[in-house]
Structure 1
Amino acid sequence: MEENRNRKPLRFFGLGEILPYARAYRREIAGMVLLGLGSSLCDAIYPLFNRYALNRYVGEGRLETLPSFLSLYFLVLLAQVLANFISSYFICKVELFIGRDLKNASFNHLQTLSFSYFNTHNVGYIHARIMSDTDRIATMMSWRLMDFVWNLSYILFAMLVMLRIQPRLALRLLLLLPFAAAAIGFFQRRVLRMNRRVREMNAVLTGDFNEGITGAKTIRTMVLAEKISADFRKDTREMRRRSIHATHYAALFTATVTMMSSAALALVLWRGGEMTAVRLLEIGSLSVFLSYALGIMEPIQYIIEAFSTLLDVQVNIERFSALLHIESDVKDSPAVIERYGDSFRPKRENWEPLYGEVAFRDVSFRYPDGEEEVLRHFNLKVEKGSRIAIVGETGAGKSTLVNLVCRFFEPTAGAVLIDGRDARERSQLWLHSHIGYVLQTPHLFSGSIRDNLRYGREDATDEEIWEALRLVSAADVAERMGRGLDSEVGEGGDLLSTGEKQLLSFARAILADPAILVLDEATSSVDTVTERRIQEAARRLTEGRTSFLIAHRLSTIIDADRILAVRDGHIVEAGTHRELMEKRGYYYRLYTRQYEDARTEGEFGERQAAEI
């Protein structure tokens, strides 16, 4: 991806990019670190209780201090339990809150990016940046950080205790640690690499399941069951092979850790036993060394694992940082933001009304990911209340003009004027709040019909919503779903047909009462009867409003004030329906061909009806 190519690797694992988010929770982080140190200190103290008990109660046979011993032991135990509980609370809070802040920062930044970003990045990639990357960063800043604190502090406390009791034996034991760390690190890296390959294969299997379920009808109708099953068996065999390989290495890794612990224990038993025999070391002190020898390898393993996680998460931090450093192709100037606000802090009190006059002044335009200019020195003036139709074949570039009017893209040269002023002199939010847009592919949000229509106007009453639905002949959609305006539309409106979603989108635009209306193929997915109703509603709605109509069905726009014919991204003709038909050019060919196709379909339908 472009942002990954342009961004340089971050210093210090990229932690500098995350510190501003962690700084907001510095008290919680300080608390969990201090409590973690306290918990590790308690772990390091327990062997000293064993030492005292062996020397005092077993070696000397004196029990007069037993009550105070037990009281102190349970006091330390209680302190550790409380420290672990409170630190875990802080860790969870830091993980959730930093994760939330990272997601909010990512999502909010996405709202400021232009359409060109979404044209060049797929949904899965963006979703991974917002969800997966931020989760891994938040986990690293909480649990992995505390793994490092807990285990490193335990090793340091244990070293200090051993050096204080018997320096020579402690140094012999400490000589094993570098070799143990190297061996553990060697296997740890390979186990992580193999587990990553297993996860990748698991993702492939998940995709197989998804295709098998969502494509069940296609698989049956095309008799692909055997081929799909064979592919699935192949993937499961590969999954089995990788899993067994990873399990073998994991077992070898566990055996290595056990072997190093046994080596440390053997060293203590050998040298410590000799010292104890000549009374250079008490039996209680030997037990301390034995406890540390048994428990010191596991912390080394966790420290290496935490460091490996930090190396892995550096990639997530770099991708997160790269996303936040992407600049939109369309952005408001500091002066505009100062006066009108931005998308999240609008200064509506400074907003002027929008009347609807639009003009293209010597506009040239090239898409950010393209090389050829699709507009060159283009001029057009659209009076307030005019109905402008844009026609052409599929892929001709009909949406380019509308994208420029809506400021989804900026002109490469020239200017788009709104009410006589350059659109860049006022905020994007000001412009977008005065535009009603019915998309070619209608989108509804999860929730009820009422929730979706109130995106057009938040304070719309139920009566106004019903009126908008009736205006576009969509009232029966809400009534048929059983719960009226409370009916759920499903994720993306998947409980409705495309035509029904388009009708609700149209009603939403009506509620917004926009000064500029854009209908992008707005009647291409509804039946003929509903299309006529929408055309009548659109005719009433567009009265007094500047309207841009994009349609394949040319019969729907013959009464437009001006028609722009687009071919290969360029406007080749402009005029009224009558003027363009008289020219007998591109528009004439489009219209007559469509008319002939419609007549042929009608005659075919009549023959079928007669045969029945």
Structure 2
Amino acid sequence: VQDWKLGLAAIALYPVQAWLIPKLQRQVNALGKERVQTVRRLNERIGEAVTGAHEIHANDTSQYELSDFSSRLGKIFDIRYEIYKKKFLIKFVNNFLALLTPFFFYSIGGWLVIRGDMTVGSLIAVLGAYKDVSAPWKMLLGYYQRKEDARIKYEQLIEKFELNDLLEEEKLVADPDEAPLKGELVAANTSLAEDDGLKVIDGASMRVDLPSHFAVVGPPGGGKGEFSQLIARLLSPTGGKVALNQTDLSDLPEANTGRQISYAGQTPYIFAGSIRDNLLYGLKHRRLQEAVYEGSEVSNRERQINEAKITG
């Protein structure tokens, strides 16, 4: 005969696990984020050492750099060690609480059976029910831990490659405005800062009537290349704005700025192909003909489109 009181006693420690395990898992998540960031800084440091290897040997700083790498690797080891300790603590808590309930049933329940306050059938029934619930509960906790580990890795990966100044999709695919860009192009108190806060451009201003041809000149490292890219809408200013007839240049679709504003930088890129292809590259805005699929190609194309939609 099953007793509802014994049923409540069987699940009494589950709320404790549901409260305690996420708190411990958040500590593991924080350590996981710290580990990823530390590894990234180590990778950047290695890149610096490879690029400036001649400076290291010229100034006899090899031992200093090696000690720095050793310190960084030691920090990564300490973080991973803390992660494993937290994970094993979570596993210990899960196993301890999972075995604590049967221990109470066998000890206290056995004592009540001997006194005659409980029947053997009730005790066996609640132990069987607890055994059936325990396995799915362990699977649920394991799934939660794997999900959290995957979430942290995914968030760190997205954070690494996500850029705040990416051009909006609607501006990339928008049709061009046939009206030519004419009027007054004004850059008012524009500034451009790098990720570390260092300002490449600080308070630069200009005013020019369009259409016209002009060049931005200045000393090396003075920001002339970055300022030219701001005017061509290849970079977005972190302060101030670049406007055409009171309209912010960043609000215009790329079909307008890319076709009507020509930009020649200090280091132009030559694409693989012929000289003719590179000279006429600025005319290749859209495909002139739609792709035509026939026979089995139609089903293959539909399958590719469906897979692309599923994967986002």
TM-score, normalisation: structure 2: 0.59
Query: Structure 2 vs 1, CA of residues 182 and 391 (structure 1 numbering), >3 Å: closer, same or farther?
Result: closer
1:168 aligns with 2:8: no
Q: How does 1:18-417 map to 2 (within 5 A)?
A: 165-270=2-107, 278-281=119-122, 283=124, 285=125, 288-292=128-132, 294-295=134-135, 298-299=138-139, 301-302=141-142, 305=145, 343-346=172-175, 351=178, 360-361=183-184, 363-369=185-191, 372=203, 374-376=205-207, 378-379=208-209, 382=212, 388=213, 390=215, 392-394=217-219, 395=222, 397=224, 404=231, 406=232, 411-412=242-243, 414=245
Q: Following TM superposition, by how much is the alpha carbon of 1:431 offset from its aligned partner in structure 2, in angstroms?
A: 4.9
Letter in 2 for 1:187: L
CA contact (8 A) 2:191 2:203 kept: no
Q: How does 1:493-508 map to 2 (within 5 A)?
A: 508=278
More helix by share: 1
- Per the alignment, in what secondary structure is the counterpart of residue 215 of structure 2? strand
Letter in 2 for 1:511: L
In 2, the alpha carbon distance for the partners of 1:402 and 1:166 equals: 76
CA contact (8 A) 2:183 2:210 kept: yes
Q: Following TM superposition, by how much is the alpha carbon of 1:398 offset from its aligned partner in structure 2, in angstroms?
A: 7.7
Query: Structure 2 vs 1, CA of residues 201 and 265 (structure 1 numbering), >3 Å: closer, same or farther?
Result: farther
Corresponding residue number in structure 1 for 2:280: 511
- Per the alignment, in what secondary structure is the counterpart of residue 374 of structure 1? strand
- Per the alignment, in what secondary structure is the counterpart of residue 235 of structure 1? helix
In 1, the alpha carbon distance for the partners of 2:69 and 2:102 equals: 49
- Per the alignment, in what secondary structure is the counterpart of residue 68 of structure 2? helix
CA contact (8 A) 1:181 1:300 kept: no
Q: Following TM superposition, by how much is the alpha carbon of 1:188 offset from its aligned partner in structure 2, in angstroms?
A: 2.6
CA contact (8 A) 1:180 1:297 kept: no
CA contact (8 A) 2:35 2:76 kept: yes
In 1, the alpha carbon distance for the partners of 2:65 and 2:32 equals: 26
CA contact (8 A) 1:261 1:294 kept: yes
In 1, the alpha carbon distance for the partners of 2:37 and 2:223 equals: 40
CA contact (8 A) 1:272 1:286 kept: no
CA contact (8 A) 2:29 2:149 kept: no
Letter in 1 for 2:175: P
- Per the alignment, in what secondary structure is the counterpart of residue 11 of structure 2? helix
Q: Following TM superposition, by how much is the alpha carbon of 1:374 offset from its aligned partner in structure 2, in angstroms?
A: 1.6
- Per the alignment, in what secondary structure is the counterpart of residue 204 of structure 1? helix
Query: Structure 2 vs 1, CA of residues 271 and 169 (structure 1 numbering), >3 Å: closer, same or farther?
Result: farther
CA contact (8 A) 1:187 1:249 kept: yes
- Per the alignment, in what secondary structure is the counterpart of residue 9 of structure 2? helix
Post-superposition Cα deviations, 1:248-286, rounded to whole Å, max 9, x if no partner, equal 333332222211111022134346656698343385x35
CA contact (8 A) 1:365 1:411 kept: yes
Q: Following TM superposition, by how much is the alpha carbon of 1:229 offset from its aligned partner in structure 2, in angstroms?
A: 0.6
- Per the alignment, in what secondary structure is the counterpart of residue 12 of structure 2? helix
Q: Following TM superposition, by how much is the alpha carbon of 1:225 offset from its aligned partner in structure 2, in angstroms?
A: 1.5
In 2, the alpha carbon distance for the partners of 1:342 and 1:170 equals: 61
In 2, the alpha carbon distance for the partners of 1:176 and 1:247 equals: 25
In 2, the alpha carbon distance for the partners of 1:263 and 1:246 equals: 25
CA contact (8 A) 2:186 2:243 kept: yes
CA contact (8 A) 1:268 1:290 kept: no
Q: Following TM superposition, by how much is the alpha carbon of 1:290 offset from its aligned partner in structure 2, in angstroms?
A: 4.7
In 1, the alpha carbon distance for the partners of 2:41 and 2:146 equals: 28
Q: How does 1:441-480 map to 2 (within 5 A)?
A: 441-443=267-269, 449-450=272-273, 465=274, 468=276
CA contact (8 A) 1:275 1:281 kept: no
Query: Structure 2 vs 1, CA of residues 374 and 307 (structure 1 numbering), >3 Å: closer, same or farther?
Result: same
TM-score, normalisation: structure 1: 0.34
In 1, the alpha carbon distance for the partners of 2:31 and 2:226 equals: 48
**5+ residue gaps, structure 2:** 193-201, 284-312
Greater C-alpha radius of gyration:
1
Letter in 2 for 1:278: T
Match of 2:259 among 411, 433, 436: 433
In 1, the alpha carbon distance for the partners of 2:93 and 2:32 equals: 18
Q: Following TM superposition, by how much is the alpha carbon of 1:226 offset from its aligned partner in structure 2, in angstroms?
A: 1.0
CA contact (8 A) 1:343 1:429 kept: yes
- Per the alignment, in what secondary structure is the counterpart of residue 175 of structure 2? coil
CA contact (8 A) 1:264 1:294 kept: no
- Per the alignment, in what secondary structure is the counterpart of residue 369 of structure 1? strand
**5+ residue gaps, structure 1:** 1-163, 332-340, 383-387, 417-422, 451-464, 469-506, 515-612
Corresponding residue number in structure 2 for 1:149: none
Query: Structure 2 vs 1, CA of residues 243 and 396 (structure 1 numbering), >3 Å: closer, same or farther?
Result: closer
Query: Structure 2 vs 1, CA of residues 187 and 278 (structure 1 numbering), >3 Å: closer, same or farther?
Result: same
Post-superposition Cα deviations, 1:199-243, rounded to whole Å, max 9, x if no partner, equal 333333333443444444443344321111111122222233333
Query: Structure 2 vs 1, CA of residues 236 and 306 (structure 1 numbering), >3 Å: closer, same or farther?
Result: closer
In 2, the alpha carbon distance for the partners of 1:396 and 1:293 equals: 67
Deviates more, 1:248-257 or 1:197-206: 197-206
CA contact (8 A) 1:359 1:381 kept: yes
CA contact (8 A) 1:187 1:253 kept: yes
CA contact (8 A) 1:261 1:297 kept: no
